[in-house]
Chain A
């Protein structure tokens, strides 16, 4: 399935570029609404750009919460993330040039 590199997808790729994260963190880092994140993650996964695993029962149980689903980028995903970064930077430059706007989106996306 071809991936359309939307703004949201780009932000998600970026959030994952710095390491493994679960859905909640991706939302926090990307600032995207919940309704957007999960479908986008699913599409990326279906396209082979990322893979996901359940965290261990033991740690979830110890903290008394449900298991988290952890996502990480595959090599294709990393390549796509790089392309997305370029696109984001380009877009930001254009916006700043034309309208004098400040860049949007998280900086490095630290949790």
Chain B
């Protein structure tokens, strides 16, 4: 025999031989393994197939194990483990159901816990991130709970506070990047040089901004994210130090940030210096900065709050009461951990989800416990005999515990696989809905959590049958003889109790998800104020470099609209500065002619400015309720006009007619604009938010009168149907007009609307799925207990029927029992839900946490499920053959 080539099959078999050797007592293990290896080698050389090899290895391992068992050489727990494994493999149906149920519970828990861990529990990915705080302002009397900070406030804040080591500032500001493979619009930010010092992150290549970059008139420089560098610049190692085109300006790339670097989950890919001029920082009324501070060593957030509160009280003693100066009543600062700022919006939703999967796991455990109980009872006679023959109770308890643990471990393995798959799915469906989702992974802590859950589960339901057996008197169970009589009340009570808790937990989950579904329904039925169907939108940014004159942008959009409007299938085209239904608040100070700013009246400030071009109201399907909309005759040189929404008319003019009144927008010339129309409200701050006040202006009039131009405009194209069919032509048209302009955010308006509902939909879908699983498990549990009851009472049923009982009355007997169990569960569940749904309050929209409709209908649904689950066993009870049953005596 000569040496053979060693293939993969041989290697696998050899590894398996090594595993099989664990069944051999330790002192002989090495010898056996070597001997087996030699024999395996000969067998394979003799032409044994891989499949036969597997069987051979299984055989040697089993043989060794059996021998160990017979000779008592195996360690006690090992023996129990083998015993448990064999017992479980003998009943594959039971095992598959139990392991799958547990795997589902554990897997869902692991997946959701991974998300909670990655998003909420893990510190932010900056050094000493617990020292980082987000600093915002607020205008509580105007209803703005979180607001930006103005540049003068930022400079003062940085100079006056002592509890901060450093304070940086930034604002989101998308940028068009050329010079790579193609022009591209990317999420960007302008930031102070201090920001990077605060975050404690250096560039991977090159450097971050220095003081010389961050001053007015400095040479333009940019920092790039690792991802943008990889994606659009081919990871060019020589990029740092060269120039790229940013919004039509040549800017030097000074650095590339490390992979994953971001702030506040904004996906920022390009950083530019803010370039504040300390001698002329700009208006106090102009709030647009986000501040991030690093607490000085030895201080904490409470000390910082105390200091800032103290400072705010005397911020500018020369000008008390000025609304725009920081003061405790109308314009305080808010300080919170940066971590809270990032994950705050989803934290409660994630905890609710974690609670929900916890419930699913509990239900799964109850179900498996039920299965184990049923199995234990079926083996009761065997167990009694073993006890009678001298098997110790401790030994039996150990056996049940081992079975539970083996099941839990198998379930845990299935669960990890399931969790891993679900995380992949979650990552692919929820990237925009959850912050930090990119950081989520199945990590050690999560695995530890799963292991703990699996073990807890094993102990929990492992003990249930053990306790039951321990309480049984041997002679009783021998007399009862297994299946013939109604079982000792204890077992049935325990099983009924499990089903009651399952039903209760399932009801809480179903109620919770019912509330979310209703709330989502409310959200879907919110009228956004515009028509989304058959419309497509995209964003264009016209850089100052090529479009310096204020009228350049309106001119460009006018030409673009003419060209797009002539495409086949296009019915109307317009442009707007802000894309409803979700965009940043403007909150611009606005003068209202003839209206006094009263102490108790609304502040003269408008939530949203909308600068439009073309037949905007018609294209978006926004209805004019009073006066008129913009007309073709409204343009440069004619009367400056404005259109307001119903909310603005009501807030500022009450019962008066706003038509013909005049307003003056902030920060520009002296000219007044005349209100010519009132339109229906359009959602701008999210579908679930109260509609704010809004004014519509015409782009060319704003450019003419105030010299102001909105560089970033959203084009909306109304089509006769199938809006995406016009996209290729629209792209070509834009490219023909200016090939350097990137098209960003191209979506149908239906997708825009769906995006605004994405987070609640994500939550509703997940919770709905959990509730569905819970319902299914509870139904299986109820069915199991009722089937069991029927089987136990078959003799009684038989005798009843033999004595002339109607089938219907026997059926009713079983149904009554099933419904009693379900009813108790529903009662307990209602009590729990009444208390727990309060936690959902912040996640609900348009539905009360104790919504009577949901609380009335969902229990009915569960009742129907319980009836169905009892119905089948009840039918079976009526088919009991009295002769058959009595013959078994």
Could you list which residues of chain A lie within 8 angstroms of chain B, going by C-beta atoms? 22-24, 27, 33-39, 42-43, 60, 63-69
Contacts and interface: CB of A to CB of B under 8 A. Distances in A.
Given A24-B39, A63-B3, A34 B59 contact: yes
Interface in B354-389: none
Contacts of A27: 39
25 contacts: A22-B35, A23-B35, A23-B38, A24-B43, A33-B59, A34-B39, A34-B56, A34-B57, A35-B59, A35-B60, A35-B61, A38-B35, A38-B63, A39-B63, A43-B67, A60-B38, A63-B1, A63-B2, A64-B2, A64-B4, A65-B1, A65-B3, A68-B39, A68-B42, A69-B31
B62 A35 contact: yes
Nearest to B58: A35
Q: Which of A35, A38, A60, A66 has the most CB of B within 10 A?
A: A35
B34 interface: yes
A34 B60 contact: yes
Given A35-B66, A39-B63, A42-B28, 11 more contacts: A22-B38, A22-B39, A23-B39, A35-B64, A36-B59, A36-B63, A39-B64, A60-B38, A63-B3, A64-B4, A68-B38
A69 B63 contact: no
Contact of A39 (B2, B4, B45, B66): B66
Contacts of B347: none
Given A24-B39, A27-B39, A36-B63, A67 B34 contact: yes
Contacts, number: 72
B34 A66 contact: yes
B32 interface: yes
Contact of A24 (B32, B42, B63): B42
Contacts of B31: 69
Contact of A66 (B1, B37, B58, B59): B37
A38 B60 CA distance: 7
Contact of A65 (B42, B57, B59, B61): B42
A38 B32 contact: yes
Contacts of B43: 24
B661 interface: no
Interface string B22-33: 000000100110
Given A27-B39, A63-B1, A65-B1, A38 B64 contact: yes
A6 to B, nearest CB: 12
B41 interface: yes
4 closest Cβ contacts across the A-B interface? A64-B3, A35-B63, A35-B59, A39-B67
Interface residues of B, number: 28
A68 B43 CA distance: 12
B63 A65 contact: no
A27 to B, nearest CB: 7
Contacts of B56: 34
Nearest to B42: A24
Given A24-B43, A65-B38, A37 B1 contact: no
A65 B41 contact: yes
Contacts of A66: 34, 37-38, 41
B508 to A, nearest CB: 51
Contacts of A24: 38-39, 42-43
Nearest to A46: B71
Contacts of A36: 59, 63
A67 to B, nearest CB: 6
A66 B37 CA distance: 7
Interface in B1-56: 1-4, 28, 31-32, 34-39, 41-43, 45, 56
Contacts of B62: 35
Nearest to A23: B39
Contacts of A63: 1-3
Contacts of A64: 2-4
Nearest to A64: B3
Nearest to A39: B67
Q: Which of B35, B43, B59 has the most CB of A within 10 A?
A: B35
Q: Which of B3, B32, B39, B59 has the most CB of A within 10 A?
A: B39
A65 B1 CA distance: 9
Contacts of A33: 59, 63
A2 B867 CA distance: 63
Contacts of A22: 35, 38-39, 42
Given A24-B43, A64-B3, A69 B35 contact: yes
A69 B42 CA distance: 12
A69 B38 contact: yes
B55 to A, nearest CB: 8
Contacts of B66: 35, 39
A39 B62 CA distance: 10
Nearest to B56: A34
Contacts of B38: 22-24, 60, 65-69
A97 B39 CA distance: 38
A34 B42 CA distance: 13
A99 B3 CA distance: 48
Interface string B161-173: 0000000000000
B415 to A, nearest CB: 32
A59 to B, nearest CB: 10
Nearest to A63: B1
Interface string B53-95: 0001111111110110000000000000000000000000000
A66 B41 CA distance: 8
Contacts of B42: 22, 24, 65, 68
A35 B1 CA distance: 25
Given A34-B59, A35-B66, A38-B64, A68 B2 contact: no
Contacts of B2: 63-64
